[in-house]
Amino acid sequence: MTGLRFLVRRLGAAVATLFVVAVVLFAGSEVLPGDAASASLGPDATLEEVEQRRAELGVDRPWPGRFVEWIAGAIRLDLGVSSVSGQPVVDLVAAPLAATGLLVAVTAAVSVPLAMGLGLVSGLRRDGRLDRTLSAVAVVAVSIPQFVVAGLLVLVFADLLPVLPAISLPPLGGTALDRPEILVLPVTALTLFGAAWASRIVRAAVIDADATPHVEAARLAGLPERVVVWRHLLPAAVPPCAQTFAWLLSGLFGGTAVVEVVFNYPGLSQTLVAAVRNHDTAVLEGVGLLLAAIIVVAFVLADVVVMAVDPRLRVAGR
């Protein structure tokens, strides 16, 4: 009962957050200057042509009405049409979103276990040689921009030791999974950042959990270390980490936006950059809202994981 109420409250907060995101996106891209109509017609258009185009695009009306319409459409998964190609935004972004989603999913599948493992080892052997080495590597890996890492990876593995493709173009009509080797370098670039960053936070959570009375009690009771770690320490360390992995997802979507460019990967990055360059407001807002929705859902899922794992919440739920 409590569990359900908790979930409903979290979902409510998620919807509220998405609404604020929508306001921010709309304000950022429409209320501020920057005119899709004149941008799509080019510099030689006459004033009348621009006015006509503005009317076609529906941007000549005051913004509050357009905002309400946009939100009402978004709820029905109708994000408007691209001012450049005239295609519905949802159709336009489906393929790039799937490509980026695949990249993010593969990266998450590699980074999350890696971060858990490294964080656990570092946290349990705090200030040991391994911990200090990992911590130094992590600071460097987190600091360097991801496109720099990607560029250096291409340099080393596609130029100096030509073992991997420098360009990650999936075969026509297929996905990157048909040629898994093209995913190696982009996933490595993203994982270096993601795993380094998340493992630091897992480490802190493990250290905190290690200091709790119930873990100490389990140790003092003479339970084998394996049992102490898996049954008692990890469940206490997971809740703070679940949120971290939701942040990680947001970071990965941001990271792909630049890493894809290095590898010419046909994901959302190209869509977003083209939208900004052509003042294609509907596409930019649509992609922004979709990304925000994915991230918000990840945060709700993180809360669900916490509820499933954290024994305190479970007891309260019964």
Partner 1 sequence: MSRLRWVAVGCLVLVVLAVVGVALFGPLLAGAPEQIVGLPYSGPSPASPLGTDNSGRDVLDRVLAGGRPLVVVPVVATVLATLLGLLLGLAGGYFAGVVDTVVSRLDYVLLGLPPVLILLVLLHGWGYSATTMTAVVVLTGTPFVSRVTRAETLRAVEDGYVVAAYATGDSHLSVIFREILPNIIRPVLADFGTRLAIAVTLTAAAGFLGFGSGGPNWGAMISENVEGIRLTPWGVAVPAVLLGVMTVAANLGIDRLVGRVLR
Q: Which is nearer to partner 1, 30 or 229 (CB)?
A: 30
Q: Which DSSP letter does residue 171 get?
A: P
User: What's phi and psi for 88, nearest 5 deg?
Assistant: -60, 140
Q: Which is nearer to partner 1, 77 or 148 (CB)?
A: 148
Q: How far is the CB of 25 from partner 1 (least distance, A)?
A: 6
Q: How far is the CB of 15 from partner 1 (least distance, A)?
A: 13
Task: Burial-class residue 235 by CB neighbours within 10 Å (0-12, 13-18, 19+).
Answer: middle
Q: What is the C-alpha separation between 75 and 223, in angstroms, rounded?
A: 53
Q: What is the C-alpha separation between 308 and 116, in angstroms, rounded?
A: 18
Q: How far is the CB of 140 from partner 1 (least distance, A)?
A: 5
The pair of structure tokens assigned to 144 is 């360097």
Q: How far is the CB of 149 from partner 1 (least distance, A)?
A: 8
Which residue type occupies 209?
Answer: A
Q: Which is nearer to partner 1, 137 or 207 (CB)?
A: 137
Q: How far is the CB of 281 from partner 1 (least distance, A)?
A: 7
Q: How far is the CB of 70 from partner 1 (least distance, A)?
A: 15
- Whose tokens are 């290690």? That residue is 210
DSSP secondary structure string for all residues of 70-110: HHHHHHTT---B-TTT--BHHHHHHHHHHHHHHHHHHHHHH
Q: Which is nearer to partner 1, 185 or 233 (CB)?
A: 185
Q: Which is nearer to partner 1, 90 or 258 (CB)?
A: 258
For residues 150-184, one letter each, b for 16 or more C-beta atoms within 10 angstroms of the residue's C-beta and e for the rest, the string is beebbeebbeeeeebbbebebeeeeebeeeeebbb
For residue 297, what are the β-bridge partners? Answer: none
The residues binding partner 1 (CB under 8 A) are 17, 20-21, 24-25, 28-29, 32-34, 139-140, 142-145, 147-149, 151-152, 154-155, 158-160, 166, 247, 250-251, 253-255, 257-258, 261-262, 269, 272-273, 275-277, 279, 281, 284, 288, 291-292, 295-296, 299
User: What's phi and psi for 81, nearest 5 deg?
Assistant: -120, 150
Q: How far is the CB of 101 from partner 1 (least distance, A)?
A: 14
Helix (H, G, I), strand (E, B) or coil at 49: helix
The pair of structure tokens assigned to 130 is 């391994």
Q: Which is nearer to partner 1, 115 or 289 (CB)?
A: 289
Q: Which is nearer to partner 1, 27 or 109 (CB)?
A: 27
* Contact status, residue 268 vs residue 256, Cβ threshold 8 Å: yes
Q: How far is the CB of 222 from partner 1 (least distance, A)?
A: 38
Q: Which is nearer to partner 1, 124 or 300 (CB)?
A: 300
Q: CB 121: neighbour CB atoms within 10 A?
A: 17
